[in-house]
Amino acid sequence: MGRCDTCKHWEPGDDWTEKAAGMRVCGAIQMREEVERSAHKGFSDDDRWGEGWDVAEAREHAALRAAKAVAVDGSSYHAAVMTTADFGCVLHAPTTGEG
């Protein structure tokens, strides 16, 4: 399994504590709200709510399943997954030049 230290999604964060601990942000894992909103791209609010809650929610559920993982926080303001270099993940994408 690929590790974060060889993944193109492993991005520097801006928090001093995480930096000092050798942690970075996983850019492959988005906030739940971002994933749910992305499910409605190309649909107007009228389309989204006119088609019925069950259809709109089904699109959101499919987007969440496709994401494999999301970050959640109670405020819906900001959430991120922070990892160390040796964390392994199925969302691993090799950095350029890795074999």
Residue 50 and residue 69 in one domain: yes
- Per DSSP, the residues of 40-63 read TTT--HHHHHHT-HHHHHHHHHHH
In this prediction, residue 99 has a pLDDT band, given cuts at 50, 70 and 90, of: very low
Report how many domains make up the chain.
2
Residue 68 and residue 36 in one domain: yes
Higher pLDDT, 61 or 76: 61
The domain of 96 spans: 1-29+80-99
Q: In this structure, what are the phi and psi dihedrals at residue 17, rounded to the nearest 5 degrees?
A: -65, -45
Query: Are 6 and 89 within 8 A, CB to CB?
Result: no
Tell if the pTM clears 0.95, that is, is over it.
Answer: no
pLDDT digits (tens, 9 = 90+) for 3-19: 999 999 999 988 888 88
Confidence (pLDDT) at 74: 82
Residue 10 and residue 43 in one domain: no
Residue 55 and residue 85 in one domain: no
Residue 35 and residue 66 in one domain: yes
pLDDT digits (tens, 9 = 90+) for 34-60: 999 898 887 776 666 666 677 888 889
Gap between the Cα atoms of 48 and 30, Å rounded = 22
Residue 40 and residue 17 in one domain: no
